[in-house]
Amino acid sequence: MKQYLEIVKQILKNGKDKKDRTGTGTIAVAGVKFEHDMAEGFPLITTKKVPLRLVSSELEFFIKGISDKKWLQERNNHIWDEWCSPDVVAYAHDKETKKKMMKERELGPVYGWQWRNFGAEYISYDKEKKGKGVDQLKNVIDTLRKNPENRRLIVSAWNPVDIPRMALPPCHYCFQLIVINNRLNLLWNQRSVDVALGLPFNIASYGLLLHLIAKETGLREGKLIGFLGDTHIYINHIEGMKRQITRNPYKLSKIRTSDFSSIFEWNYTDTKIIDYKHHPHIKFEIAV
**What is the set of active-site residues?**
171
Identity of the amino acid at 134: V
Biggest distance spanned by C-alpha atoms of the chain: 55
State the CB neighbour count (10 A cutoff) for residue 146.
Answer: 7
> What is the distance, to the nearest Å, from the Cα of residue 115 to the centroid of all Cα atoms in its chain?
13
Closest CA to 287 of 23, 55, 101: 23
CA distances from 9 to 17, 156, 244 (A): 15, 30, 10
In this structure, are strands 220-234 and 254-257 parallel, antiparallel, or unpaired? unpaired
Tell me how far the alpha carbon of residue 45 is from its chain's centroid: 14
d(Cα 139, Cα 136) in Å, to the nearest integer?
5
Q: Is 195 exposed, middle or buried (0-12, 13-18, 19+ CB in 10 A)?
A: buried
| Residue 26 burial class via C-beta count within 10 angstroms: exposed 0-12, middle 13-18, buried 19 and up | buried
Measured at the CA of 42, the angle between CA 273 and CA 201, to 5 degrees, comes to 85
**What's the CA gap between 189 and 174, in Å, rounded?**
5
Strand partners, 180: 183
**How far is Cα 36 from Cα 101, in angstroms, rounded to an integer?**
36
Q: How far apart are CA 195 and CA 36, in angstroms?
A: 16
